[in-house]
Structure formats: C-alpha cells, structure tokens
Structure 1
Amino acid sequence: MEDNAVLEEGFNGLTRMQEALPASWYFDPAHYARELREIWGRNWVYLCRADTLDGPRSFRSFQVAGQPVLLVRDQEGVLQGFFNTCRHRGSLLCPQAEGTLKKAMITCPYHQWVYDLTGRLRATGPMRRVEGFDRDDYPLHRVRVAEWGGFVFVNLDPDASSFEELYGAETAYVANWPLEELKVGHVFSKTLNCNWKAFWENYNECLHCPNIHPELCELVPIYGRAIMARRDDPDWAEHAEDQAPHRSGGLRTGAETWSMDGAAQGRLPGLSDEDVAAGQRYVTVTPSVFIAHHADYVRIVKITPTGPETMELTAEWLFLPDTLARPDFDADKITRFGILVMEQDGGACELNHAGMRASAFRNGVLMQEEYEVFLFQQWVREQLGEAPKSEGAASRASRRMPVSE
C-alpha cells in the first residue's frame, strides 16, 4: 500500500477516519449557487425518457442548474438541445412544458424571431434590416444532449467529456437489459427538506440499513450486516466461495426481485442467470440519477435540487409494454416496496440535514465503512476545485460493478 493511502487495498474501506464536508455546504445559499454552477452546470444531468419526445417537432422545456433548457426533435427525429432563450433580447422561446410545434420552426412569442430546428436564425419578424447584423451570427445557444437506453441526458458545459467516455463502462454492466423497449408504468414524486448531497451520502452507505430499512434488509440480507457488497467485509476472502445471500449480496433465498413479497412478474428478455441472481444492478450518473435494474423492471430515481435545503425526489418504474397490458399484472406490489424504501431514506436524510444546523457542528467524520461517501464527497470537492484528484474519486461505480463482487 502506498504511503498515506486513503482506501484499503484488500477490501472496500477507508484506512483511517476522514473529515466530512463542511456543514455550511448543506445550507449556505452562496455555496448552493456555486454548486449549481460548478457541479450541476458541468455534469451530465438526467431529464426524461426519450419516448416523451415522440416524433418530429415534439419539444419539452426544463430547468437545469437554474438555466432554461429546451429539447426538440428535428424533422429527422434527431434530438436537439438549446438554451430556451431567444438571441434577440432573451425571451423564453417555449414557455410551455411540452408539446408539438405546428411547423418545423421555433418562433419567439415576444418579437417573432424564427429559428429552424437545428437552431439557425431564419427570420427576425417585422424588424427592418440594420447595418452590422448578420443572422448567421445569432443561432440558438446549444446544449449538449446524449441518449442512452431510452434515457435523455444534457450537459450545459460545451467542453465536458462525452457521456460515453464517462459512463460507457458502467452502462456496459447492464447491457442485457432491454432499456429502450421499456415504458413508464408508475411515477412517484416527493419533496424532501434536505440538501441534495445528503440524499447521495445516504445512498452511498448501508450503515443505516438495519435501523432504517428492516424490510429491505430482509430482502437483501447483506444489507442487514450494515454493508453493501461482499468486499466491504475485511474478512471477505475467508468466505469468498460462499454464495449465501448474506455474503454474496444477492436476494434472500426464494426471492426474485424488489417487491413486497419478493416475487417477480415475469423476466425481462435477454437477461442472463447471472444478471437475475445479482438481484439488483445500478447505473449511477452523479449528480442527478441512479437507475436500479431488476429481473422484471427498472427503477429510475432522479434527484433535483430546488434550494439549499430542499430537493425533489422523482422515481419512475419501467416495464415491458406487454407486462403493463397483462390483466394479472400487479404493479402495486413492486411500486409499494420501492416507495417504502424511498420514504424511509427520505426521513433519514431530513433527520440528518436538520441536525447539521446546530451551530456547534462544523463537519462530521467518515468511518471505515463509509468509503463510498468519502468518494462522493471527494468528487464534490474536486468539482469545486477544493481538492486534487485522488485515488478512486474519478469512479463512482465501484461497489456495484463486478470488481467489488
């Protein structure tokens, strides 16, 4: 092990206690604005399923890091992304949340400037020609767009690495899931009174699981040990061949998926026995979403900051269309379990956030098992230019990819 290494080599853990982020970073308005700009404005952010932009001229508008964003499909069906602002004097181009344009053009409702669906300025309404103005110099400001597995992501930073470069290895881990074929069967949304980072930190450890998630620990026995994966145990090598769920991380014996009774409603085509045996696989795209993959469905959990001390949690459950159409399909067994777990997590995050307001509390500490919380917090520091790049902090997937199995 190199001198001063932070992460253990033989198992998943921290070599020593680490200081957590400053408490003020969870409620200070100026710092929140900095995070919107430096983190949310420079990383890939999940917005929606691609099929919600159905066909040429369909559009949707969003707020990303406090910025107005417009997505629109051009005449060839290619998804285009722009800042939702006219190049004339800055008016919103599409104040509606979604719809279909009547013509293959975007017309500013204020002064009638007209753009084609690739963003080129085509007309300036009733305005007379003026010296020094060239329409070619005033296209819409672009926003980078990526589509993967029927999911749509945007990045406001024109110089950021591509989605494939950053997440190709992690998305390959779930390549067998027929993601593009799936349709939304249920949506759940909840406002949480906590900073967005508090939710991610909760997601990245299972020390809280035995106390907060008794039902989940019964379904995924390793969580009942307050760890997330086999190699979180310093003595994992002594039990390396033991495939019992409390050692391997799989579902309890007889369970097939995350649901109220553990029963799956079918099996998604293309999955291997290994995919199903894992019980759950994740794709994590920080800071906005994690996507949980199960035998019979996929769950999207989207995090949206709405203020220094509030956030919106939105979950979508995806199923095959044929499954949704089955008369015996019972989505409630699946969605009720997911909502139960998220409600429990939400309550824990609010409890955590409220306590940070104590004037005597300057920052917390991270213990051995909280290695993923450390990696997340180190990523935050790096995004803000507060820390040099360090071991492991560039990768956010270690606990759920095969290296940690």
Structure 2
Amino acid sequence: MTQPFNTNGIQWTLPASAYRDPALYERERKQIFARNWSLFSWSERVREPGDYVSGVSAGYPIFVIRGDDGKVRGFHNVCRHRGAQLISKEEGHCGKVVSCPYHAWAFSRSGRLIKATEFGEGGPAFDPDEWSLYEVDVEEWRGLIFVRIERGGQDLKSWLGPIDTMAADYPLDTQKYFTCKNRDVDVDWKAYGENYLECYHCRIMHPGLCESLDVDQYRIDTYQNEWFFHLHAPKREGGFTRGLYFYRFPFLMLNLYDWGSSIATIEPLGPGRVRHINWYFFQDVSPGKAKENQEAADWSAQIVSEDLDIVLGVQRNLNAGIYQRGPLSPKQEQAVFGFQEMYRDAMAGSGDPLRIAAE
C-alpha cells in the first residue's frame, strides 16, 4: 500500500528510491538538468577570441568559446562527421578554426562548417549552416558563464529572478578567481541540496559556522514560484562581514561578500553520484593576501566537507533499502519541503509517481 506525500499533517520526504533509480535519473537529465541554466565557467577564462573551456553539463560534453565578435557561444563537443570529440583540453586557445582531430573537418569560432575534407569530386555539397556545430545556450552574468542544453526559454536574468537585483551591490564582477575545490562523491544531487537547505544540523555538525553566524536566528526564505531560496543569519561579533546567500534550484549556490565570493554548483554524474564544484573569488588576490584568502577558502571548504561526510552516510542508507521515507519538521525543514515541491513540479509529466512517498 502506498502513502501520499502529506498525511495526518506530516510532510514526508521523497521515497528513498528517488535518490538511486537510474531510470528516474535519466528523466531528471531531460526534465531538469537540460532545461535549466547551469553554471559552467567564469568569463576571465575566455577573455580573448579563440579562448575556450570544455567540460560536461547535464551529462553532455560541451565547450564554450569566445568568438571574433566578442560573444561567448557554446557547442556540444562533437564533430558533425563521425562524432569525434573536438576539444580535448579543459581550457586553451584555438586558431581561427576548430579543427576535428579525427578527419580534419573545420568549423569557425561561431560553429559554422568551413571545410569537409576528402569527399572527392562530385561528392555531396554540405550546407555550412545546416552542418554547423550543435549549439547550446550561453549567457554571462557578473563575470560568470552559464549554459543551457535545451535551447530556448527564459533568459538568464529572468531565470535568476530576484537574485539579480538583490545581489546588485555586491562586487562579484570585480572579484578575481583565487582557487577551487572540486570533489566527486557518492551522493545524489537532491540529498546534497536538501542538506544545504536546512540548519537543523548546524549546531551538531558545524562549530566553525556557529562561531561566525548566529544560527539561532538562521532563516531560509523560500520563493516557491521563482525556484530559489534566500538563506540568512546575522553575523556574530568578530564574524565575517555582511553576506548574501542563495540557492537557485536545481543546484546553484551563491555566497557573496564584499571581499570575496564562494560560488558552487553540482554536476550530476549519475544516480547517487555528483561532482561538487566550488570556486573562490576575492577582491584582492595579491601575494600579500594569499594566506588570508586561503584560510577563508579552507574555512568554507571545511563546512562542505562536514556536510558531505554526513550525506555520504545518508546516501548509503538510501541505497541499502531499509529506510523508505521520513517526516519533515515544519519548524526546521520547510525549505527542504519547498525543494521537494520544486522537484515534483519540474518532474510533472515525466511519468514518475512522485506524489507517492513510499511503499
């Protein structure tokens, strides 16, 4: 017998199977990952025409490149001829053309086919526009580069919604990249997001955070229609300066300060597995500030490590099969419930019974 997600006044979690099901994960790729903007890189990495960055978004290998017109464009990292990978390095600079390393088909920096080699006299005439590279949507915001696999839909500023205005006086676009910490972990993206969106665990697990912020006044405002959360608490005496903290569904995390920023996202690698990506930017990245900046980055990374350690155990139990569901605290976990409602809305029509909590 199944139980609905809300019974007798109890708000239930998603079923444990939702965090490990390969078929469900494939639907998430299409319904959620491909349709939403994803953080991909930062603008300084592609400063000049021909500069590129390659990577993976929603499971699709892609690259972004600065064109001769100064615009950043994004393409699937696949040749139109036989499907070869066009770009092998994570970042770099190409000449006037993107040349396939397999059979030397050549494409312009704007993705247009320039040359299809060795088809002989009388061979097919390939229309350069029809045979251009498969494009993805790309936009820049405040020095960050976002991509979207499924083309069309909201522009990036509309997708960010109130975040764009609320963050306007934080100097994100003048801050410089300092360091990163990326980790591949056996955790589902939803399990990590739900952990991020409650401070129920903060006093138990995050002593460093509790020294800096007054967690007794920690609050998370849920903007259900805009699919984002505003996290805030006043700093303690001697804590960090004012900050602005956002989580934009499905997995964009912005922690903004006057002096620097911690920018994080998730790249889902499969059901129950993610790459956690965290970049640190500072207003002053001079050698004299290196030690102080590293200490700030390490402090932030330690909190992430504390979270990942506990969520790894959660994921093991979600996979094991004994735990099926749990109740959500109306006092402490309303943002978790909001996240799960956003998930249900995003998956609506995918053929998945997510209105059912557990067998």
Q: What is the TM-score with the length of structure 1 in the denominator?
A: 0.76
2:115 to 111, 120, 123: 123
Q: Which structure 2 residue ranges, 5 or more long, are not aligned?
A: 1-5, 223-231, 351-359
Q: Tell me the CA shift for residue 329 of structure 1.
A: 5.3
Q: Residue 100 of structure 2 corresponds to which residue in structure 1?
A: 108
2:313 to 345, 351, 372: 351
Within a 5 Å distance, the mapping from 1:43-54 to structure 2 comes to 43-54=36-47
2:10 to 6, 9, 17: 17
1:360-399 C-alpha deviation (Å, 9 max, x unpaired): 3222222203111111111111111169xxxxxxxxxxxx
Q: Tell me the CA shift for residue 89 of structure 1.
A: 2.3
User: 2: CA distance between counterparts of 1:133 and 1:323?
Assistant: 49
Aligned residues, how many? 333
Within a 5 Å distance, the mapping from 1:226-375 to structure 2 comes to 228-229=218-219, 249-255=233-239, 257=240, 276=241, 279-320=242-283, 322-326=284-288, 330-368=292-330, 369-375=332-338
1:60 to 53, 60, 63: 53
Partner SS, residue 134 of structure 2: coil
User: 2: CA distance between counterparts of 1:110 and 1:191?
Assistant: 30
- Is the Cα contact below 8 Å between 1:216 and 1:341 reproduced in 2? yes
Partner SS, residue 330 of structure 1: helix
User: 1: CA distance between counterparts of 2:349 and 2:306?
Assistant: 32
- Is the Cα contact below 8 Å between 2:137 and 2:150 reproduced in 1? yes
Query: Do the aligned partners of residues 303 and 327 (structure 1) sit closer, same or farther apart at CA in structure 2, a change above 3 Å counting?
Result: closer
Q: What is the TM-score with the length of structure 2 in the denominator?
A: 0.86
- Is the Cα contact below 8 Å between 2:211 and 2:236 reproduced in 1? yes
Within a 5 Å distance, the mapping from 1:127-206 to structure 2 comes to 127-128=119-120, 129-131=122-124, 133-206=126-199
Q: Residue 74 of structure 1 corresponds to which residue in structure 2?
A: 67
- Is the Cα contact below 8 Å between 1:43 and 1:155 reproduced in 2? yes
Query: Do the aligned partners of residues 106 and 205 (structure 1) sit closer, same or farther apart at CA in structure 2, a change above 3 Å counting?
Result: same
User: 1: CA distance between counterparts of 2:289 and 2:251?
Assistant: 35
Percent identical among aligned pairs is 28
1:336-364 C-alpha deviation (Å, 9 max, x unpaired): 21122111111121122222234232222
Query: Do the aligned partners of residues 122 and 212 (structure 1) sit closer, same or farther apart at CA in structure 2, a change above 3 Å counting?
Result: same
User: 1: CA distance between counterparts of 2:136 and 2:20?
Assistant: 29
User: 2: CA distance between counterparts of 1:202 and 1:136?
Assistant: 46
Q: Residue 3 of structure 2 corresponds to which residue in structure 1?
A: none
1:266-295 C-alpha deviation (Å, 9 max, x unpaired): xxxxxxxxxx5xx32123333232110123
* RMSD (Å), alpha carbons: 2.3
Query: Do the aligned partners of residues 70 and 327 (structure 1) sit closer, same or farther apart at CA in structure 2, a change above 3 Å counting?
Result: closer
User: 2: CA distance between counterparts of 1:70 and 1:332?
Assistant: 29
